[in-house]
Amino acid sequence: MKATTMNAVNVASNPQLEQGRSLWYDAYLRIKKDKVAVISFFTICFYLVLTLLSSLGVIFDNYGVVDNSLTYLPPSWDHWFGTDLFGRDVLARAVHGTKTSLVVGFAGTGIAMAIGTVLGACSGYFGGKVDDLIVWFYTTIDTIPYILLVVAFSFVLGPSLLTLCLAIGLTAWVRHCRIVRAEYIKHRDLDYVQGAAALGASHARRIFLHILPNVFHLVLINFSLGFVGAVKSEVILSFLGLGVEPGTPSWGVMINDAKQELFRGVWWNLAAATLFMFFLVLAFNLFTDALRDALDPKLKNK
Amino acid sequence: MAKFIIRRTLYMIPILLGIALITFLLFNMAGGDPAAQAAGKYATAERIEEIRTELGLDGPLYVQFGRHVQQMLTFDFGRSWATKQTISSMITSGIDASMSLTVPTLIITQIITIALALFIAFFRGTLFDKTSLIVCLALLSFSSLVYILYGQFSLAFNAGLFPISGWDPSWVGRWQYLILPILIGVMLSLGGSVLFYRTVFIDQLHQDYVRTARSKGLSDNVIMYKHILRNALIPIITVVVAQMPFVIVGSLLIEAFFQIPGLGGMTYQAINNADFPVIKAMTMIGAILYLVFQLVADILYAVVDPRVQVR
């Protein structure tokens, strides 16, 4: 290795060398170098800003304005993506649909990550009976067809935005739980955890304060993966009539409306929802990929 | 080996009980009053009571749960609320339509994606590889509904290349209705499948046996097609076996759009009509099939790969 002959000045002037750099800083440097990842990140930020501004009513506050004389106007300067059945501006509805998708994505995946992390951590850390019980539970959930499980949850809870988040959150945690469990099994007997135990740290403290920061990159990667799944599930559930309350702008509802409209030549509803969804999901997909490469130590140097 | 299979089969029992418990909680307890829903909006209180007795919902919970488990094990799920037919007869009549859609889709997808992934893995690290990666992720970024809607609209409705939807029960006549659905089915899994196999092949490329083969002076083509493809058989088998439950229960969305009278289309109708017994039956059948094929995969795994520990 060259590094052994290198002095401190050289290391400082050569950021390519990995000299005691933290995982997070290292990941930041890797992602910063990856143009695709940077573009994806700013695309996601753009969507966030768009949602924030439209929710505050700063832009596109005309999304609910009904004018029956404007039914199905094709795209024009006034309406970039035309109008829908009720004469509402399709672009404005697509922009407001972003909020629904982001809420479902963040809240649904957030719930899934919380359940998966806590169950996976307890399962892997304690082992024994606790482990058996949790493994049995997630194996069972995993066995049931995902979409039918979500459908069943939606039926029980009744269609609303909250239901969507809960249905996705309560079903999408299994994969993450498995991964976290495997990590905790690896970590629980390592020296630093035993050191913490010797200092009198409680189980909860060891699980959440000592081990969790060391596996948190997996939470981040799986969050990003799960987000894409949640946004896609929202569209499918809306198509099945189990989505948001009627009247709430959502890409799923727009795509669902398109199934009749298309055959009347109205393609702009589908086009707007597809394009908005495509760029958000693609950005997340590409960013997840970069994140995984940057944070997963096993893939490093490959 | 026999011991392994028996142990593995016994392990299914607690999972089966878990499936029974969760479907019971979701459909029999939390899903409102099934008797009132079965009776419809304008039923009298007496009629609802009658149905309650008919459906066996008047007993204590453990009796109801016992009946639920019995239903699951005997595949006798009662009658549909919407069509009044027995669910088991609906399932047997839908299975061939579903499979004539899903079997060709699975086979074509595997052949195309394995070939593409081998090709991409061959050029790993190049610009072509990176572009393919982005293209695959882009393919994955469309909703499956968009593929179906757009495929049906542009290829069937606009171009008139295929019938828009429909079905012919005869084995010869049905294919004209199936070509477009199969095409769309292949498109749906193309991106994800290519990405998966690319990772499988690249993982293999880092193995010692590849280095040995190279140092022996074998050409890249021989290594690719003879050594790597053979070693990648295990993940391929795993993927195909894992897909089998979906091959049997069909494709919910594609069958709904193209009016293919298979199990997927049936489930879609049931969701639209809030036909609980059918949804419950399909949920349980899907779960049991998944479990059974998981067992098959594990056994195949142990047969194919001698390194898998049979305990």
Query: Residue A238's closest CA among A295, A283, A191, A277?
Result: A277
Query: Residue B72's closest CA among B61, B83, B88, B85?
Result: B88
B274 and A235 in contact by Cβ < 8 A? no
Q: Which of B26, B149, B283 sits opposite A145 (nearest CB)?
A: B283
CA distance to partner chain A, nearest, from residue B19 (Å): 6
Q: Is A34 helix (H, G, I), strand (E, B) or coil?
A: coil
Last residue of a domain, one of B45, B74, B103: B74
For chains A and B, count residue pairs whose Cβ atoms are closer than 8 Å: 117
Closest chain B CA to residue A144: B287
End-to-end CA distance of chain B: 8
In a domain, B197, yes or no: yes
Q: Which domains does chain A have, with CATH numbers?
A: 22-299 (1.10.3720.10)
What's the farthest any 2 CA atoms get from each other in chain B?
84
Query: Which residue is it, tokens 């049995």?
Result: A136
Query: Residue B265's closest CA among B26, B96, B151?
Result: B96
Q: Provide the CB-side half-sphere exposure for A116 (13 A, CA).
A: 32
In a domain, B309, yes or no: no
B62 and B195 share one domain: no
B279 and A152 in contact by Cβ < 8 A? yes
Mutate to test the interface with B, among A270, A285, A302 (most CBs of B within 10 A): A285
Closest chain B CA to residue A238: B145
Round to whole Å and give the CA distance between B65 and B73: 12
B22 and A151 in contact by Cβ < 8 A? no
The percent helix, strand, coil of chain B (3-state, each to 5) is: 75, 0, 25
Q: What is the pLDDT of residue A7?
A: 44
- Contact between B277 and B285 (Cβ < 8 Å): no
B172 and B131 share one domain: yes
Q: What is the pLDDT of residue B147?
A: 92
Closest chain A CA to residue B164: A263
Q: What angle do CA A208, A211, A213 make, to 5 degrees?
A: 80
Q: What is the pLDDT of residue A253?
A: 86
Q: What is the pLDDT of residue A120?
A: 95
Q: What is the pLDDT of residue B102?
A: 92
Q: Which of B253, B283, B291 sits opposite A152 (nearest CB)?
A: B283
What's the structural domain count of chain B? Answer: 2
Q: Does residue B238 or residue B37 have the better pLDDT?
A: B238
pLDDT at B104 over 90: yes
For chain A, the residues whose C-beta falls within 8 A of a C-beta of chain B are 36, 136-137, 139-141, 143-145, 147-149, 151-153, 155-156, 228, 232, 235-236, 239-242, 251, 255-256, 258-259, 262-263, 267, 270, 274, 277-278, 281-282, 285-286, 289, 302
In a domain, B229, yes or no: yes
Query: Residue A223's closest CA among A185, A184, A169?
Result: A169
- With beta carbons under 8 A apart, name residues in chain B contacting A289: 133, 137
Within 10 A of B249 (CB to CB), how many other CB atoms are there?
27
Mutate to test the interface with B, among A40, A144, A224 (most CBs of B within 10 A): A144
User: What's A263's DSSP letter?
Assistant: G
Mutate to test the interface with A, among B146, B148, B251, B269 (most CBs of A within 10 A): B146
Q: Does residue B130 or residue A263 have the better pLDDT?
A: B130
Alpha helices in chain B, H assignment, sequence order: 2-10, 12-23, 34-39, 45-55, 61-74, 87-122, 127-140, 144-151, 175-205, 208-215, 220-222, 229-231, 233-249, 252-258, 263-272, 276-304
Give the type of residue at B125. G
B171 and B239 share one domain: yes
Radius of gyration, CA atoms only, chain B: 24
pLDDT confidence bin for B187, thresholds 50/70/90: very high
B206 and B124 share one domain: yes
B206 and A302 in contact by Cβ < 8 A? yes
B70 and B100 share one domain: no
B299 and B161 share one domain: yes
Q: Which of B31, B141, B157 sits opposite A278 (nearest CB)?
A: B141
Q: What is the pLDDT of residue A13?
A: 47
Query: Residue A124's closest CA among A206, A174, A180?
Result: A180
Q: Which of A139, A151, A256 sits opposite B271 (nearest CB)?
A: A151
- For a pLDDT cut of 90, what percent of chain B falls above it? 20
Give B150's contacts (C-beta < 8 A, 6+ positions apart).
A270
Using alpha carbons, list the distances in angstroms from residue A12 to A181, A230, B22, B77, B277. Answer: 38, 43, 58, 71, 68
- Contact between B293 and B242 (Cβ < 8 Å): yes
What token pair was written down for B230?
């053979």
Query: Which residue is it, tokens 């109801």?
Result: B64
B26 and A153 in contact by Cβ < 8 A? yes
Round to whole Å and give the CA distance between B197 and B190: 11
For B184-238, the three-class secondary structure string (H helix, E strand, C coil) is HHHHHHHHHHHHHHHHHHHHHHCCHHHHHHHHCCCCHHHHHHHHHHHHCHHHHHH
Tell me the β-bridge partners of B79. B86
Q: What is the pLDDT of residue B186?
A: 94
- With beta carbons under 8 A apart, name residues in chain B contacting A261: none
In a domain, B225, yes or no: yes
Handedness of CA A154, A158, A163, A164 (dihedral sign): positive
B22 and B140 share one domain: no
Mean pLDDT of B198-204: 87
What token pair was written down for B216?
């022996």
- Contact between A177 and A120 (Cβ < 8 Å): yes
Q: What is the pLDDT of residue A243?
A: 79
Round to whole Å and give the CA distance between A166 and A111: 7
What token pair was written down for A204?
């909860």
A255 and B149 in contact by Cβ < 8 A? yes
Last residue of a domain, one of B74, B108, B125: B74
Q: What is the pLDDT of residue A125?
A: 93
- With beta carbons under 8 A apart, name residues in chain A contacting B291: 143
Alpha helices in chain A, H assignment, sequence order: 8-13, 23-33, 35-55, 90-103, 109-126, 128-143, 146-157, 161-171, 174-187, 191-198, 203-205, 212-239, 251-261, 268-295
Last residue of a domain, one of B28, B43, B74: B74
The CATH number for B208's domain is: 1.10.3720.10
Q: What is the pLDDT of residue B112?
A: 95
A136 and B143 in contact by Cβ < 8 A? no
Query: Which residue is it, tokens 């089998």?
Result: B244
B18 and A156 in contact by Cβ < 8 A? no
Tell me how long chain A is.
Answer: 302
In a domain, B87, yes or no: no
pLDDT at B280 over 60: yes
Closest chain A CA to residue B11: A136
Closest chain B CA to residue A227: B141
Q: Which of A148, A232, A241 sits opposite B282 (nearest CB)?
A: A148
B266 and B132 share one domain: yes
Question: For residue B207, what are the domain limits?
Answer: 93-304
Closest chain A CA to residue B278: A148
What token pair was written down for A56?
């505050």
B179 and B210 share one domain: yes
Mean pLDDT of B248-270: 89
Q: Does residue B49 or residue A12 have the better pLDDT?
A: B49
Q: Does residue B58 or residue B221 have the better pLDDT?
A: B221
pLDDT confidence bin for B162, thresholds 50/70/90: confident
The distance from CA B127 to its chain's CA centroid, rounded to whole angstroms, is 34
Round to whole Å and give the CA distance between B127 and A36: 13
What token pair was written down for A173?
């945690």
- With beta carbons under 8 A apart, name residues in chain B contacting A36: 134
B99 and B39 share one domain: no
Within 10 A of B209 (CB to CB), how many other CB atoms are there?
12
- With beta carbons under 8 A apart, name residues in chain B contacting A34: none
Q: What is the pLDDT of residue A9?
A: 43
- For a pLDDT cut of 70, what percent of chain B falls above it? 91
Backbone angles phi, psi at A222, to 5 degrees: -70, -30
B180 and B64 share one domain: no
B147 and B252 share one domain: yes
Q: Quote ipTM for the complex.
A: 0.82
Query: Residue A225's closest CA among A268, A187, A281?
Result: A281
Q: Which of B142, B245, B252 sits opposite A278 (nearest CB)?
A: B142
In a domain, B51, yes or no: yes
CA distance to partner chain A, nearest, from residue B24 (Å): 11
pLDDT at B108 over 90: yes
- Contact between B141 and B192 (Cβ < 8 Å): no
Q: Is B131 helix (H, G, I), strand (E, B) or coil?
A: helix
Q: What angle do CA A180, A184, A186 make, to 5 degrees?
A: 120
Mean pLDDT of B69-95: 83
CA distance to partner chain A, nearest, from residue B129 (Å): 14
In a domain, B285, yes or no: yes
A147 and B138 in contact by Cβ < 8 A? no
Round to whole Å and give the CA distance between A66 and A81: 16
In a domain, B17, yes or no: yes
User: Which residue stretches of chain A have pLDDT < 70?
Assistant: 1-20, 70, 297-302
Q: What is the pLDDT of residue A19?
A: 60
